[in-house]
Amino acid sequence: MNMEWKTELCFVDAREPEVTCIERAASWLKRGELVAFPTETVYGLGADGGNAKACAKIYEAKGRPSDNPLILHVADVDALRPLVQSIPPQVEILMSELWPGPMTLIFRRSDHVPDIVTAGGDTVAIRLPEHPVARAMIRAAGCPVAAPSANRSGRPSPTNAQDVWADMAGRIPMILDGGSSQIGIESTVIDVTVEPAMILRPGYYTREYLETWLSGICLDHSIVQDGVAPRSPGQKYRHYAPKAELTVYVGSPEAVNRAIQRALRQAKAAGKRTGAMLFDEDPDPTDCDLVLRLGSRSELSQMGHFLFSSLRAFDRAEVDVIFGVGVEALEGYGISIMNRLKKSAGGRVVVL
Ligand code: TXA
Ligand code: MG
């Protein structure tokens, strides 16, 4: 791989994507190179999804294990049809109502999809993002865009262009800066090749919400139960990890705050630089070098929005340990947040 790229960071106004930047990004993609771009969930690292050599560069730039398949991003449903074998009628309705948006669907693949995209499997993941910059870029490229999150493998997903820069500068020719990603955690991945449909990765759209279109939709057991092998390859890897050791506490707000305060005091006494990741309602802790608040306990979408960028902020502050609040009720968006938190913490979740 060419590690000598002089990476161009190009600001694009999401309300009025400027044609020259988009055209330049599209031309890199057409030439088989990589471009990082904003989506409403997290930033993606894009390549021409029909070009196996270009897709191989994604694995190299990220340091991604080769058995972890990629999502193909399209700008409209017609671009999806040649990539898949069949679409059940209820899935057609789901697509027309929830796309564009933070939802990835797994279909049986057609022969048009290169093996490297599916990691050799017989299914393909497809997403139609809502972000206007992503859509404009995919349209201009004129091909499905293969894109995982634009982080180095194992790191928190980037939710703004600066966080992409930290991981990808020098590795790729161009980053499109469309501001901070509104949602902040990745799309809900749903396998629609099985009956009932199954959520392989929880995201912004919850099981409860999706039930309207996919009656009986269930969660892969590994999402809610420890020790069960996940069905989606990407879910088995260590993920989203800050450099500091993160421990997450779950329980009543009072018990969690007491435990975090105790842990901070002990870590400080041991000479460590400390961080705390709290809700707005939590009291100010002592013995803490950096306190970050991720919104209100009663509005979890704020926590989703701030989670990954906060983990990276702790890294920049060079803390050694982070003690964070978790979500007690395992339902709705709480499942998605805890899925990311648990992986970020390498499983260190203390239930009080
Ligand atoms: O929101 C998102 O989905 C972001 C933005 C950039 O679109 N993309 C993203 O990609 O999160 P990535 O590669 O970081 O995660 C894709 C997940 C992985 O866990 C992967 O294993 C799974 O989707 N996946 C991809 N293709 C699959 C397939 N054919 N079967 C099962 N899981 C698949
Ligand atoms: Mg990822």
Classify residue 106 as left (phi > 0), alpha (psi -120 to 50) or beta: beta
Q: Atom 21, ligand 1: which residue's CA is nearest?
A: 234
Q: Atom 7, ligand 1: which residue's CA is nearest?
A: 44
Ion ligand 2 nearby residues (CB, 5 A):
149
pLDDT at position 228 is: 81
Residue 180 to residues 114, 183, 302, Cα–Cα distance (Å): 31, 9, 13
Q: CB–CB of 305/295 below 8 Å?
A: yes
Q: DSSP string covering 114-143, please?
A: -HHHHTT-SEEEEE----HHHHHHHHHHTS
Interval between CA 13 and ligand 1 midpoint (Å): 26
d(CA 73, CA 47) in angstroms, rounded, equals: 10
Nearest to 339 by CA among 191, 174, 231, 225: 225
Residue 267 to residues 51, 251, 274, 282, 321, Cα–Cα distance (Å): 50, 21, 7, 20, 8
d(CA 264, CA 266) in angstroms, rounded, equals: 5
pLDDT at position 232 is: 82
Atom of ligand 1 nearest to the CA of 64: 13
Interval between CA 150 and ligand 2 midpoint (Å): 7
Q: CB–CB of 189/124 below 8 Å?
A: no
Atom of ligand 1 nearest to the CA of 124: 29
In testing the pocket of ligand 1, which one of 73, 80, 83, 186 has its CB within 8 Å of the most ligand atoms?
A: 186
3 burial level (CB within 10 Å; 0-12, 13-18, 19+): exposed
* Pocket lining for ligand 1, CB < 6 angstroms: 39, 41-42, 44, 68-71, 104, 106, 118, 121, 123-125, 127, 129, 147-149, 186-187, 189, 200-201, 232-235
Interval between CA 234 and ligand 1 midpoint (Å): 7
Asked if the bond preceding 196 is cis, omega within 30° of 0, the reply is: yes
- pLDDT in single tens digits along all 352 residues of the chain: 556 899 999 999 877 766 789 999 999 999 999 999 999 999 999 999 999 999 999 999 999 999 999 999 999 999 999 999 999 999 999 999 999 999 999 999 999 999 999 999 999 999 999 999 999 999 999 999 999 999 999 999 999 999 999 999 999 999 999 999 999 999 999 999 999 999 999 999 999 999 999 999 999 998 888 878 888 877 776 678 889 999 999 999 999 999 999 999 999 999 999 999 999 999 999 999 999 999 999 999 999 999 999 999 999 999 999 999 999 878 899 999 999 999 999 999 999 9
31-59 pLDDT, tens per residue? 999 999 999 999 999 999 999 999 999 99
Interval between CA 148 and ligand 2 midpoint (Å): 6
The bridge status of strand 44-48 relative to strand 145-146 is antiparallel
pLDDT at position 237 is: 66
131: which strand partners? Answer: none
pLDDT at position 300 is: 96
What is the pTM for the complete model shown? Answer: 0.96
84: which strand partners? Answer: 109
User: In this structure, what token pair is assigned to residue 18?
Assistant: 């400027």
pLDDT at position 111 is: 96
In testing the pocket of ligand 1, which one of 71, 149, 164 has its CB within 8 Å of the most ligand atoms?
A: 71
Nearest to 184 by CA among 151, 153, 160: 160
Length of the chain: 352
User: In this structure, what token pair is assigned to residue 185?
Assistant: 């955690």
